[in-house]
Copies of this chain bind each other. A is one copy, B any other.
Amino acid sequence: MSAPASQPFASRGTKADIENGLSFQPKFDGDGLIPAIVTDASTGEVLMFAFMNAHALKLSIDTGIAHFWSRSRAALWKKGEESGNFLNIVEMRTDCDQDVIWVRVDVAGDGRACHTGERSCFYRVIKSSSDADEAAALTVAADACRHD
């Protein structure tokens, strides 16, 4: 009998297995989710951050298109399904503890990964405490998209 679709990955092994091994043993949190960092494969820019459940992770690996779990909608989320801006996966990595996924992508469609219309969700910079003007704690990043 095959493993249920929600748990298609290997069980967690020892610390050494997890850190040094070549068996993929992703760790999902108490809600069954693993954090996923999405970067632009060409520029390295962080585009967005979301969570995957086991099903979304498996679909991402199998299809080469990033899938997530939408916590607000409590549903599988194929990013780009409405906008056409699918995230085509160039490479996926995991970290030492195998509890985070890094997804390097090419953004399809008009290349905007953020629902606001920005290319990246990270279009604002947090000012340092030494910045003279304390009236605002954020600035718009120089590389943010322009909405003409």
Contacts and interface: CB of A to CB of B under 8 A. Distances in A.
Interface of A: 9-10, 19-24, 35, 37, 39, 43-46, 48-49, 61-62, 64, 89, 91-97, 100-102, 114-116, 118, 121-129, 136-141
Nearest to A62: B129
A138 B22 contact: yes
Contacts of A62: 129
Nearest to A101: B126
Contact of A95 (B21, B35, B43, B121): B121
Count of chain copies: 2
Interface secondary structure of A, over-half rule: loop
A61 to B, nearest CB: 5
B126 A61 contact: yes
A66 B137 CA distance: 18
A126 B93 contact: yes
Contacts of A64: 128
Nearest to A44: B44
Contacts of A46: 37, 39, 46, 93, 102
